[in-house]
Structure 1
């Protein structure tokens, strides 16, 4: 699972060929022992959890990079490696 960004101890990843897991464009955010799958469209947590502070940082990052995340999603579902995205 390629790492596409890292900031404040949060690692953002996107699985390749992952369009069947949650059936919507999403990415995975990990912080310490916490991990969550987050919808690109609306920032909804699809599975897992993050501490409140880190979740708010991830949402702020999502707002800044939604178009890039969608482009990376499109690459990932085709089995191609996504591009790196600037941190927060």
Structure 2
């Protein structure tokens, strides 16, 4: 599962050939979630409100890049790193 970004200890990844809808995976300590790229809803798992706010703030800034990486992953191509939240 390629890591595409990391910030404040939050790890953002995507799987190759993953199931729709387009999404990314979030890990932070014991918390895990799958987040929709298009709606930024948590599809599976749970995040604290503070963590979810940081993740959505980052994702809003990088939605186009996330969709580009989703398409690359669907085609089994190398994913691009995405800038962290600063």
Aligned ranges 1:1-88 → 2 under 5 Å: 1-18=1-18, 20=19, 23-88=20-85
Query: What's the C-alpha RMSD, in Å, of the aligned pairs?
Result: 0.7
The number of equivalent residue pairs is 85
* TM-score, with structure 1 as normaliser: 0.93
Separation in 2, partners of 1:67, 1:44: 16
Report the CA distance between 1:15 and its aligned residue.
Answer: 0.5
Separation in 2, partners of 1:52, 1:9: 16
4+ residue segments displaced more than 6 Å: none
Report the CA distance between 1:25 and its aligned residue.
Answer: 0.4
For structure 1, which runs of at least 5 residues remain unmatched after alignment? none
* TM-score, with structure 2 as normaliser: 0.95
